[in-house]
Structure 1
Amino acid sequence: MKVGILGNGQLGQMLETSITDLKDIEVSLYDLRAHTDEALEAFIASVDILSYETENIPAHIVTLLEPHADKLYPGLNALKTFQNRLLEKNALRNAGIATAEFRAVNSLEDVHTAVQELGLPIVMKTTTEGYDGKGQFVLRTPDDAAPAWNSIGNRELIAEAFVPFERETSVIASRDRDGNIVVFPMTENVHHEGILRYSLYPAPALSQEKAEQAERYIRQLAESLDYVGTITLELFDTEDGLVGNEVAPRVHNSGHWSIEGTEASQFRNHMLAITGKSLGATEPKFASVAMLNVIGEETPAEKAEGIDNAYRHSYGKEARPARKLGHVTVTGSTDAERDATITELNALMPEGIWPPKQ
């Protein structure tokens, strides 16, 4: 069986390496940056199953995928839904998941209307593309309306009411072709300037009620879309419960810890799901695990190579500011053991975000 992955970045590469022991599956990666229609058609014809490492696939390429929808996992419905933040919010609500109040914005007048209806502050985002804080603008006063529109407008936007959250979390699941679902443990995710810097398992002080709510939410979401593959639901943790933020119809940065940290990683389970094989277990192999992103330069990550409970992953990318160049997984038999190693590696993170504020 030959699987084709649209995208040959780090996610595509980790999907490929997650099943090197399965000799009946061959994986081929397609470079979306070097796309031609002819090359894509030849690539599709050469594989039995198609998947993708990113939902940010240009519309004209998505059109070319439509005649081959029967071998695309996750399916076209999921891909198109989560390419657009308005469709995404509606999908979350249709699945019974709480979200922020939101409005579509197509003009400066719409921005003013959103301010009046949603109150301040509000978060304005482009409905398509935009990640790691890109394509976003926070409005704190009515005078921010014009700067927001001038900065990211002249295209479809979504205005979201601000959610007073205590922290950001995520839950990841994999669903196979028969509808079986396995759910990974939740993580707490800490961002800086819109970029994920580290994820912690277990999410500190997570109540059983919220853990069950997150699992219920992601099961409802996957089932509502007849989803096949790995899916990620980012959640705001609030005083009143969990609120859906964004969805990634793919493996996700906050789940990289699963490579060393769980019996089967998010990558392996994605590949098992789309190829019709049985899903692997998601039980943690360690009491405590963290994932630290390597951003901008790799030198601080070199220290991990001399630490027994740290595992360095380099993506082989050219260094530049704010670029994800790799990650380091830290494991521990206790939170204290894990956290002591994170402290040794704190040069990977901006000052002030580690240790967590109590």
Structure 2
Amino acid sequence: MAADTASTPFFTEDNLTALEARYEAQKLAFGALAFQSARCLRKFGLLALVSKAGKAGIDLASLQAQASISAYGVRVLMEASLGIGLCTLNEGQYRLTKTGIFVMRDAMTIANFDFNHDVNYQGFFHLDEAIETGTPAGLKELGNWATIYEGLSSLPQQVRDSWLAFDHYYSDGSFGLVMKKVFAKPVARLLDVGGNTGKWARACVEHDEKVQVTLADLPQQIALAGAEMKTHPGASRVSFYPVNVLAAETTFPNGFDVVWMSQFLDCFSDAEIISILKKVAAAAGEHTRIFIMETFWDRQEYEAAAFCLQQTSLYFTCLANGNSQMYHSEVFSKCIDAAGLEIVDQTDGVGVSHTLLECRVKQ
């Protein structure tokens, strides 16, 4: 069947007054400063202190007395909290807003904050260079690699932790939701292409006591996944296939019932996606089911999700590889078609923001 390419209902109208639009423009102009002030309000515990005070609120002097930073630091951060909508101030009492609660406690918001600060922030100074050259120009702030994937195992610990927390937040909650669909038919052998740290492979051998999983990825990632898998009860049923999927000579082994790719193909350009999928198609049999799980910005239920995905695209532009993104589903479906595959089933709304595509070689 053809992919349903119904467009998102968001981003179709401009309903702001001129005054409102100018204010929104100032939020962008000071966005970098607002981001860092919000991060520091959480880091230094000021949001927690205001939250603890509850509806009664807390005055500046009390905050300064309890905080671990200088009185001056408390004052400027708390004043900044008003303009960015994290606190209100009435009759001298600061109170936390709903937005402030999300910044302080929400797992998704915290994962996004840490990812953008630890991984992206310094590199994004080079976004214009990345756009002009088609290379991840900001990556030099983290290390000397052609792509971030080559350096994941060598990233500074805090950077790597934030990268993995961001990656896993969006994928882990989806695995259990799609497992029954993947295993709806008997699966003796499963090829996990772009297996990263091996979380999907581990989930599969835990779900099915007989399935054999082959994890294919760059040698550096294979080393990480192998280390994670060593002590797992299902380790004997997981094998590894080190491979550079972009190399012209690359082929995939055949004989698999299922080929699985999750949050993998968004790491490549349109042309590279087609090339990889052609290699998958060449290794697939007539009855091989090919599952692709991705986050398409036009398939989101909520505008906030679409916004986050559109901005995350620029991480790929500036740091990851210089040429990929979080795709519009129509662009992606054209790549599938060009590779000689067809979509037979599509499930939106999986987990936080995923779409699951089931494909097969064109009949």
TM over 0.5: same fold? no
**TM-score (normalizing by structure 2):** 0.25
TM-score (norm 1): 0.25
Decide which structure has the larger Cα Rg and report it.
2
Q: Normalized per residue, which structure has more helix? A: 2
